[in-house]
Structure 1
Amino acid sequence: MPRHLQSALDADYSYDYASDTVHRKHPALKRLVAVLVVIVLLALAVGVAATYYSYRRLTKQAEQVASLEQDALAAMTAGGSGSRADYLDALKTNLSTAQDKANQANGIVSGDLWTFYSHISGYRDDVATMRQMAATMLSLANDTLPRYTTVLDGMESQQLYNGDGSLNVTPITDASTNVGTLNATVKAGFDQILAMTPPRDAALFESFENIVSGFSSVTDQLSTLSGMFEYLPNFLASDGTARTYIILAQASGTALAAGGPVETMGWMAVANGAFTMGDFYASEYWIADAGLNDVTADEKNLFSTISGIDYGSSVSTISANPNFPSVADQANDFWKNTDFAGGGGSADGVISFDPYALQKLVAITGDITLDDGTKLTADGTAEFLMNGIYDSVDSDSFATYYSSIVTKIVTAAFSDLTLSKVLTLSDTLVECASGRHAYLWSFHEDDQKTLRETRLAGNVNTDAANPVVGIYNEQKHNAAMDWYLHRISTVQKTGANTYHVTFGLNNTLGSAVGMSSAIVGDSNDGVGVGHQLQRMFVYTPAGATISNLTVQSGAEVQTVTVNATTVYTFQTDIGMAATDSIEFDVTCTPGSSDLRLDQTPDASGQSGITYDYGA
């Protein structure tokens, strides 16, 4: 084909040599196809961008929801470290804030964006979970908590006794029923959240986890502070059937795992809200070896063989066991087998006070003057009973003197009761129980669940869903050094269900010059004067494992089993102004609540525990 003709054809035509045929090209069609391709690509790009933008909005709003609901939860729990009255005052002050935050969070998840994503496969269930959580939070803030404050506030204006002197049961039982119903409502809401499928989207899941953790704190707070209300009718024997409570007084200047040696034990009876105080007897008067039948082989191995305590042989050593229900069983054994007390019969429960708790009772009764003129006050009783008393009386008279002090304090606390005083006493017991300064255990099974929830039971952790690591100590030096022993610890969350625990014992005594040997020890007993010779026990949380346990001092660690719980134990000698510490990792059951730490009570009344669960 001539070149000029070929050039002309190249513009709009093509020539097929085989068939000697000329074909017309379609440049407009090509351009149209190209334009359509570009349009489709642009549409896809715009769609992707819009989807990404809407997802970013969703995650940002999820973060807002989490922040708002955490603020609401913080307002609901503010003041919870104090008494019931403190918590109620704080709750009434902060309730409007909690309601505002919960309303804002609910408004966000009810918006159009969330409705759009509720129709998208893969997000439908996630949105439903977040909406249900917001609705539960809204109900808690707007309905349950206002009724809670109304019930507890209404108790203050009631009278404990009728005009004829009989117990006015109605306000107590009504409040108990109402509080029980409200607690059940809160727990049901929390259980409903836990039963929902956690969001699969990472951003929504993080928000969900943070809110669940905070909600768990609220349920614990309400159970702890209101649980005693549910128990009050039974505690006061409001049905007219008399109850007898064994009273233990621990002298925790020398530490044992649950507090200190039981220097004196007594009892009181109650019927229809009227208490009758029995007598207190020093530990030496209670029949020997009465508790041995309730000592398991595991307990004998740890507390007697390894630690060297005559566990079960003397009432003074029963608090070597950190599990207070077992301590209570032992106390009841001594009670039943001593003629001047139970005489073969069982008590209904056991109450225990350490010096810090006794000081809290003095704060209720007002100052108490002893027969020798010593004045016990709301500020100085604990220090006197843990430290100063050892300069006031010799060792032969100590238990009898301690008995006389406890008799005065406990008698004053449970005399001349009004409903306000009963509520203050219950607040004090619950507050002290949080640091293991007071315990209350009932041998009636229908009471025990409530007492565990208020932590008054002082039991070793058996609930894998709510893990608690126990770190307890026992003073092996023949000295009352616990006043100078401070505990400092951190529980740091390192993963979804993993934690790193650091626990330190600090001997704050800098010099023993001029101090009584009853406090700082004797140079002839093989341990340095002013030293803290401590036997340590680390109790593994239920359903968890402990790993990588190290001791700063290099002490040898033994591993034993105590009633199905793995316990790590070692002995450490801490010199004056010195510290020893331990570190370990804990892996808890997946889905469990945040790990807590339980310990032998600190003389200062402060736990020294820092929880770092992250953002």
Structure 2
Amino acid sequence: MARHVQGSGRTAGNGGRSAARSAARSAAAAADWNDIISQPEPSASRRSGGRRGHRPERKRHTGRNVVLTILLILVVLAAVGGFLGLRFYKQALEVKDHETKAVQAVTALADLSSIKDTQSLNSAIAEAKTHTSAAKTITDGALWKAASLVPVYGDDVKTVRGMTGVMDAMVGEALPSLSNNVATLMNANLSAGDSQLNLKPLQDVRTSFSKTNQLVQQQKQTLDALPQPHVGMVKSAYEQSRSQFDTIAEKIDQIDNSLQFLPKFLGSEGNRNYLLMAQTTSESRSSGGLVGSLGSMTTANGKITMGDFHPNTEFNLKGVLTDEETNVFSELEVTTDPRNAPVLPNFPHVAEILNKTWQASPYAGQVDGVIAVDPVFIQQMVKINGSIKLPDGRVLTGDNTAEFMLNTIYKEIPEAQQNDYFEYIVSTAISQMFANMNTSKLMQVANSMGDLASNRHLYMYSFHADEAKNFQGAGLAKGTPSSEENPELGLYVTEMKTSKMTWYIHRKTTITRQECNADGSQTYHVRVAFTNTVPSSDVKSEYEYIVGKNDHYGPMGTAHDAMLFYAPKGGSISNFTTNADEKPSQTTIDGETAWLSKTNISPGSTVSYEFDVKTSTKAKSDLKLDQTPMGWMDPGVTYDTAACAIKQ
């Protein structure tokens, strides 16, 4: 970096000595600002005082992070901008100052569910707009246009100008539109009483929110199309801001899709009947977990009515699965036992299978879709909607619900009563979701549903073709990797031993980009580690239902897992190395090729897989992992994309 500054200084119009002083001042300012940006978050005892004085606590907010990366880029450009003289440097600092004040103005937008009135929301947007407009006016000036023509660094200037424009458009167009939608919901009564949701406000904002989403997606496309920077720090900051903006755009798109289907889903145009599947992810299956029982749920004009749950013994999978599907999981009773339907990672197919088993049962009738939830979903809803008091007096909260349902219940509740507990918890949590609804609660639920669905803790699938697209668009009915432009690696795990051992298997994945190939594809190296954390205190005969028997798989506390690895659509997996009992080999399931490995994981041990992944030549975004859910929200995935940038 210093070499670039010195080289530019020699060609400055006022002579080498003056330009060198200017460049030195620029570099010093950049270094000082970079120190501030990169400082770790101060502890509570250090948030005031210190040589820099009091600074407001930074919040994790994607919009704010995007602006901070823009500021970092501007200061870096000021440091290398000695060749344009002091005027460019001063303008860069002015832009930095405007964007900083814009950040401060919109900090209140970090959590829309906490906003109490639209007046403060609009006031914050107006103040931010004043500063983003001023910053854009500067970067639209003749000096910046001239700088964008400079060889090498010109692309960096163009990128900064483009990013400043994106922020101005977001504050000037997207946020006001979002504010109007929030105002509509805030001024409406979302509760119709008796645990019924008033659907009209949701229907009123659908068209408007769709336009908001279009604005956001357009700005995402603008950001993606900007030139690739040359300066390493600028390049890194640009990639970071693109990643953060992708998160914003994806979230808005999910909410938009949800608003399009939610009224119909809740019976705005006639009653809807759904199968409700509660999955026990402590006994993992590819798309979730063992199905404890099947229930029913009816919606009518925003009112939810829970039906009865029925044990698995009343259903049969016979004749539903293909030979190909049953051969992959031959150790399990997948040919007859409906609890094992989720061994298939493609949830739309699982939904079809469960509907067929329902129609072959005494409860046959109209089914409009299938909903599947797991204890992590239930815990998030309890956190939002309030605790659940069980018949035995214990209280489930937003912190202990998942562990109770996935582990504690098997230790402390007699087996004959466990299904009753599950049914009571699931029914109560879902009934509470729409009771006493208000804007804050609705936003919390909507915000949680996106993350829960993307990590496969929640599925919602409709058999109505006109709605299925929106369900898929909101990520509520995930299948196997299907997009070449947005590549995913599929990792799906099934516990083959009768136990609840998945609760103890902690999965950690690292995905490292190694190369951006000339044909447009990218190459990644992936490491997946499965660690058996079962404590010795739990490996005892009275917990046999949890830790399994001593059998041919191994002693109590040994997990026996089948792993399916799916390459991204249009891509490939190669170069496996592993300490597993069985090295991955190719298999076919539902017409798709996957890699299959089965292995034992004994107490305290770690089984790992390492391999290379190549994406399609059409890939436009970073490789992501789609995987079987664990018993907590953290997916345990680390991404490293610093090696190179995807070419647009």
Q: Same fold (TM over 0.5)?
A: yes
Corresponding residue of 1:64: 73
The CA deviation at 1:262 is: 0.8
Q: Equivalent residue of 1:451, what SS?
A: helix
The AA in structure 2 aligned to 1:116 is: A
1:445 and 2:470 aligned: no
1:291 and 2:314 aligned: no
**Deviation readout 1:298-322 (Å, 9 max, x if unpaired):** xx43553455334463321111112
Summarize the Cα distance change of 1:111–1:331 in structure 2 as closer, same or farther, 3 Å threshold. Answer: same
Summarize the Cα distance change of 1:492–1:150 in structure 2 as closer, same or farther, 3 Å threshold. Answer: farther
Corresponding residue of 2:515: 495
Corresponding residue of 1:138: 168
Corresponding residue of 2:580: 553
8 A Cα contact 2:255 2:446, kept in partner: no
8 A Cα contact 2:106 2:128, kept in partner: no
**Deviation readout 1:127-165 (Å, 9 max, x if unpaired):** 777645542332013321243144235424421356999
The CA deviation at 1:216 is: 2.2
The CA deviation at 1:336 is: 2.4
Corresponding residue of 1:327: 350
8 A Cα contact 1:77 1:218, kept in partner: no
Corresponding residue of 1:243: 272
Residue segments in structure 1 that go unaligned for 5+ positions in a row:
1-44
Tell me, in whole angstroms, the C-alpha distance in 1 between the residues paired with 2:637 and 2:218: 30
Corresponding residue of 1:260: 289
Tell me, in whole angstroms, the C-alpha distance in 2 between the residues paired with 1:493 and 1:235: 40
Tell me, in whole angstroms, the C-alpha distance in 1 between the residues paired with 2:329 and 2:588: 12
Tell me, in whole angstroms, the C-alpha distance in 1 between the residues paired with 2:429 and 2:169: 44
Corresponding residue of 1:599: 627
Tell me, in whole angstroms, the C-alpha distance in 1 between the residues paired with 2:525 and 2:107: 26
Corresponding residue of 1:389: 409
Summarize the Cα distance change of 1:121–1:494 in structure 2 as closer, same or farther, 3 Å threshold. Answer: closer
Q: Equivalent residue of 2:284, what SS?
A: coil
Tell me, in whole angstroms, the C-alpha distance in 2 between the residues paired with 1:165 and 1:283: 29
**Equivalent residue in structure 2 for 1:588, among 592, 598, 615:** 615
8 A Cα contact 1:264 1:402, kept in partner: no
The AA in structure 1 aligned to 2:11 is: A
**Deviation readout 1:343-371 (Å, 9 max, x if unpaired):** xx3x2221111112222333345333444
The CA deviation at 1:88 is: 11
Tell me, in whole angstroms, the C-alpha distance in 2 between the residues paired with 1:148 and 1:605: 28
8 A Cα contact 2:191 2:437, kept in partner: no
Tell me, in whole angstroms, the C-alpha distance in 1 between the residues paired with 2:631 and 2:102: 31
1:191 and 2:200 aligned: no
The 5-angstrom pairing of residues 315-354 of structure 1 reads: 315-342=338-365, 345=366, 347-354=367-374
The AA in structure 1 aligned to 2:580 is: S
Q: Equivalent residue of 1:172, what SS?
A: helix
**Equivalent residue in structure 2 for 1:228, among 238, 258, 267:** 258
TM-score, normalising length: structure 2 = 0.73
Summarize the Cα distance change of 1:197–1:362 in structure 2 as closer, same or farther, 3 Å threshold. Answer: closer
Of 419-428 and 197-206, more deviation after overlay is shown by 197-206
Of 605-614 and 58-67, more deviation after overlay is shown by 58-67
Q: Equivalent residue of 2:281, what SS?
A: coil
Of 510-519 and 478-487, more deviation after overlay is shown by 510-519
Corresponding residue of 2:247: 217
TM-score, normalising length: structure 1 = 0.77
The 5-angstrom pairing of residues 426-575 of structure 1 reads: 426-496=446-516, 497-511=522-536, 512-514=538-540, 515-524=542-551, 526-553=553-580, 555-563=582-590, 565-575=592-602
Residue segments in structure 2 that go unaligned for 5+ positions in a row:
1-6, 31-69, 77-95, 517-521, 644-648
Corresponding residue of 2:61: none
Summarize the Cα distance change of 1:368–1:64 in structure 2 as closer, same or farther, 3 Å threshold. Answer: closer
8 A Cα contact 2:194 2:435, kept in partner: no
Tell me, in whole angstroms, the C-alpha distance in 2 between the residues paired with 1:505 and 1:126: 42
8 A Cα contact 1:267 1:280, kept in partner: yes
Percent pairwise identity = 29
Tell me, in whole angstroms, the C-alpha distance in 2 between the residues paired with 1:321 and 1:77: 44
Q: Equivalent residue of 1:49, what SS?
A: coil
8 A Cα contact 2:296 2:306, kept in partner: yes
- Number of paired residues? 557
Tell me, in whole angstroms, the C-alpha distance in 2 between the residues paired with 1:526 and 1:516: 17
Summarize the Cα distance change of 1:516–1:352 in structure 2 as closer, same or farther, 3 Å threshold. Answer: same
1:269 and 2:292 aligned: no
Tell me, in whole angstroms, the C-alpha distance in 1 between the residues paired with 2:195 and 2:602: 58
Corresponding residue of 1:36: none
The AA in structure 1 aligned to 2:636 is: G
Of 374-383 and 430-439, more deviation after overlay is shown by 374-383
**Deviation readout 1:256-279 (Å, 9 max, x if unpaired):** 112211111111111211222221
Of 576-585 and 98-107, more deviation after overlay is shown by 98-107
The CA deviation at 1:458 is: 2.3
Q: Equivalent residue of 1:340, what SS?
A: coil
Of 67-76 and 453-462, more deviation after overlay is shown by 67-76
Tell me, in whole angstroms, the C-alpha distance in 2 between the residues paired with 1:180 and 1:304: 45
Tell me, in whole angstroms, the C-alpha distance in 2 between the residues paired with 1:70 and 1:479: 55
8 A Cα contact 2:581 2:600, kept in partner: no
Q: Equivalent residue of 2:404, what SS?
A: helix
The CA deviation at 1:245 is: 1.6
Q: Equivalent residue of 1:254, what SS?
A: strand
Summarize the Cα distance change of 1:159–1:589 in structure 2 as closer, same or farther, 3 Å threshold. Answer: same
The CA deviation at 1:244 is: 1.3
**Deviation readout 1:53-103 (Å, 9 max, x if unpaired):** 99x9999999724977999999999999x98737999x9799799868855
Tell me, in whole angstroms, the C-alpha distance in 2 between the residues paired with 1:551 and 1:97: 56
Summarize the Cα distance change of 1:416–1:216 in structure 2 as closer, same or farther, 3 Å threshold. Answer: closer
Specify the structure having the higher radius of gyration (Cα).
1
Tell me, in whole angstroms, the C-alpha distance in 1 between the residues paired with 2:582 and 2:483: 30
The CA deviation at 1:190 is: 2.5
8 A Cα contact 1:542 1:565, kept in partner: no
Tell me, in whole angstroms, the C-alpha distance in 2 between the residues paired with 1:446 and 1:76: 41
Tell me, in whole angstroms, the C-alpha distance in 2 between the residues paired with 1:96 and 1:419: 23
Summarize the Cα distance change of 1:313–1:237 in structure 2 as closer, same or farther, 3 Å threshold. Answer: same
**Deviation readout 1:543-602 (Å, 9 max, x if unpaired):** 222222221336321112444543211112111122111122222234521111122112
8 A Cα contact 1:478 1:521, kept in partner: yes
The 5-angstrom pairing of residues 93-108 of structure 1 reads: 106-107=136-137
1:174 and 2:204 aligned: yes
Corresponding residue of 2:51: none
The AA in structure 2 aligned to 1:340 is: Y
The 5-angstrom pairing of residues 27-42 of structure 1 reads: none
8 A Cα contact 2:281 2:630, kept in partner: no
8 A Cα contact 1:62 1:207, kept in partner: no
Corresponding residue of 1:366: 386
Summarize the Cα distance change of 1:307–1:469 in structure 2 as closer, same or farther, 3 Å threshold. Answer: farther
**Deviation readout 1:288-345 (Å, 9 max, x if unpaired):** 42633xx5xxxx4355345533446332111111221111111221222223242xx3
8 A Cα contact 1:72 1:99, kept in partner: no
1:356 and 2:384 aligned: no
The AA in structure 2 aligned to 1:550 is: T
**What is the RMSD computed on CA atoms of the aligned residues?**
4.4
**Equivalent residue in structure 1 for 2:639, among 599, 603, 611:** 611
**Deviation readout 1:379-422 (Å, 9 max, x if unpaired):** 32221211122234555664455345434443454556666655
8 A Cα contact 2:181 2:209, kept in partner: yes
